[in-house]
C-alpha cells in the first residue's frame, strides 16, 4: 500500500468519525428538544444551589458541577491515542490508572488546539468513569442557584452537552455536563480503580 492510499484512508476515516459525531449530536439534540431532561445522568444540576468549578477557556467561561470534580492536576505527559478525535489529547497515567484527557476548548470548537505546560487537567468522575478535562485556567468555585441555569436550557438543543448558561459579573458561564461530553466525544471507557477514593 503506497503512502497516498494510506493518507486517503485516514482522511476517509476522519470524515466518517466526524459524521458519526455529528449524528450522535443530532440524536442527542432530538432527545433533548423533546424533553431537555431525557438524557439526565449523574451530573445533572440539583434543585436549589449548585457549586461550580469555574474554568476559563480562550474567550469563554465554563463551569463543571463540583459534585463530579475529583481533583485538579497539572499538565503532564500524555500517551497518544491513535485515530482518536482531535479533542482527545491522550491518556494520563494518574497514580497507575489510565484516564482519557479531553481538551474542552478543542471539543467545543471541534478543532485541534496545541496544549501548553500551564494548562490544567480537571479530573472528573461520572457513572463509574474518570475523564480529564484539559483547560487553560481554573478560576475557582462559585455557588449559584441551579434553577437560574436550568431556565436557559431550552435554547441549547444544538449543544446537548450544556446543562445551562449563567450570567455572572457581566460574563456568561456555560455549565457543562461531564456525562454528555463523555457520550459525545468518542472517548474510550475506563473505570475507576477500586483502590482509589
Average pLDDT of span 158-169: 78
DSSP element (H, E) containing 140: strand 137-145
Spatial distance between the Cα atoms of 172 and 12, rounded to a whole number of angstroms: 37
Residue 112 has pLDDT above 60, yes or no: yes
Reported as a single tens digit per residue, the pLDDT across 125-152 is 987 889 999 999 999 998 988 777 665 5
> Does residue 90 lie within any of the structural domains?
yes
- Whether residue 194 is contained in a domain is answered as no
Q: Who contacts 28 (Cβ-Cβ below 8 Å, separation ≥6)?
A: 39, 160, 180, 183, 184
CA distance 134 to 144: 23
- The predicted pLDDT at position 52 comes to 92
Whole-angstrom Cα distance, residue 25 to residue 16?
14
Task: Report pLDDT digits (tens) over 6-19.
Answer: 677 767 766 766 66
Q: Which of 32 and 136 is assigned the larger pLDDT? A: 136
In this prediction, residue 111 has a pLDDT band, given cuts at 50, 70 and 90, of low
Question: Is the residue at 77 inside a domain?
Answer: yes
Q: Is residue 192 part of a domain?
A: no
Whether residue 197 lies inside any domain: the answer is no
**What percent of the chain stands above pLDDT 90?**
24
pLDDT of residue 153: 54
Within-domain flag for 72: yes
Alpha carbon distances (Å) from 104 to 12, 49, 51, 60: 25, 25, 19, 11
pLDDT over 90 (residue 195): no
Evaluate whether residue 17 is within a structural domain. Answer: yes
pLDDT for position 105: 85
Whether residue 60 is contained in a domain is answered as yes
Instruction: Please check the confidence at residue 38 and state whether its pLDDT lies above 50.
Output: no
Q: How many domains does the chain have?
A: 1
How would residue 35 be classed by pLDDT, with cut points 50, 70 and 90? Answer: very low
Residue 37 confidence (pLDDT) above 50 = no
Range of the domain at 121: 3-38+49-183
CATH of the domain at 13: 2.40.50.180
**186 or 173, greater pLDDT:** 173
Amino acid at each position: 500500500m503506497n503512502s497516498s492510499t494510506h493518507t486517503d484512508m485516514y482522511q476517509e476515516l476522519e470524515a466518517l468519525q466526524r459524521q458519526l459525531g455529528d449524528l450522535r449530536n443530532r440524536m442527542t439534540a432530538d432527545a433533548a428538544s423533546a424533553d431537555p431532561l431525557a438524557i439526565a445522568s449523574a451530573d445533572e444540576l440539583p434543585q436549589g444551589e449548585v457549586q461550580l468549578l469555574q474554568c476559563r477557556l480562550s474567550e469563554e467561561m465554563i463551569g463543571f458541577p463540583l459534585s463530579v470534580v475529583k481533583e485538579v492536576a497539572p499538565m503532564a505527559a500524555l500517551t497518544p491515542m491513535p485515530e482518536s478525535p482531535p479533542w482527545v489529547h491522550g491518556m494520563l497515567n494518574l497514580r497507575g490508572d489510565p484516564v482519557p484527557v479531553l481538551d474542552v476548548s478543542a471539543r467545543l470548537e471541534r478543532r485541534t488546539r496545541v496544549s501548553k505546560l500551564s494548562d490544567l487537567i480537571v479530573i472528573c468522575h461520572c457513572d463509574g468513569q474518570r475523564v480529564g478535562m484539559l483547560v487553560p485556567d481554573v478560576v475557582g468555585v462559585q455557588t449559584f442557584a441551579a434553577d437560574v441555569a436550568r431556565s436557559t436550557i431550552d435554547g441549547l438543543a444544538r449543544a446537548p452537552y450544556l446543562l445551562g448558561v449563567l450570567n455572572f459579573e457581566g460574563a456568561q458561564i456555560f455549565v457543562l455536563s461531564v456525562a454528555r461530553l463523555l457520550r459525545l466525544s468518542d472517548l474510550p471507557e475506563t473505570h475507576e480503580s477500586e483502590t482509589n477514593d
